[in-house]
A = this chain, B = another copy of it.
Amino acid sequence: MKEALRKKGVPLTPQRLMILDVLQGSHDHVSAEDIFHEVQKSYPYINISTVFRTLDLLKDLDMVTVTDLGGGCLRYHTVTNSHHHHLICHRCGSTTEIEDSVLEPVRRAIDAGYGFEAQMHHFAIWGLCRECRHTDKEQQ
């Protein structure tokens, strides 16, 4: 990741290096606040807007994905070669990871129909999970 940025001629400042370390060190979906607090441990002078601006930069370079997984803030995730998406139940809040291949037919249909290159790297798909669908039916 650092190598890729260097190749593109993007200046690797100390702040950016620390943010990258946190992003790559955590395999979860982290919030800007998470990163901010983690970097603060070693460099207390870091500013939250630097974190947001770095994440923005990485997003524009397609190196991180930004997703609203609920919980009141956006979540950031480094782009790996195997994309994935999330099913989120808006009743019970449970989440399930799904493979990117599920979205492939849509990508193809959009390309064929509109010539549009859909970059769906990390989607949050809201709905009702298996369990909540069943309790719904029982109630009726």
Which residues of A line the B interface, CB within 8 A? 68, 87, 89-90, 96, 98, 102-103, 105-106, 109-110, 113-120, 125-130, 133
Asked if B102 and A130 sit within 8 Å, CB to CB, the answer is no
- What would 19 A/B residue contacts be, using CB atoms closer than 8 Å? A68-B68, A87-B114, A87-B118, A89-B116, A98-B110, A98-B113, A98-B114, A102-B109, A102-B110, A105-B105, A105-B109, A106-B106, A110-B127, A115-B129, A116-B125, A118-B125, A119-B127, A119-B128, A120-B127
Q: Give chain B residues whose Cβ lies under 8 Å from the Cβ of A68.
A: 68
Say how far A92's CB is from chain B's closest CB, in angstroms. Answer: 12
Other than A98-B110, A116-B127, give 16 A-B pairs with Cβ distance below 8 A. Answer: A87-B118, A90-B119, A96-B114, A98-B113, A105-B105, A105-B109, A106-B106, A110-B125, A115-B129, A116-B130, A117-B127, A117-B133, A118-B127, A119-B127, A119-B128, A120-B127
A8 to B131, CA, bound (A): 24
Each complex incorporates copies of this chain amounting to 2
Q: Give chain B residues whose Cβ lies under 8 Å from the Cβ of A106.
A: 102-103, 105-106
Q: Give chain B residues whose Cβ lies under 8 Å from the Cβ of A98.
A: 110, 113-114
Say how far A129's CB is from chain B's closest CB, in angstroms. Answer: 6
Minimum CB distance partner of A60 in chain B? B90
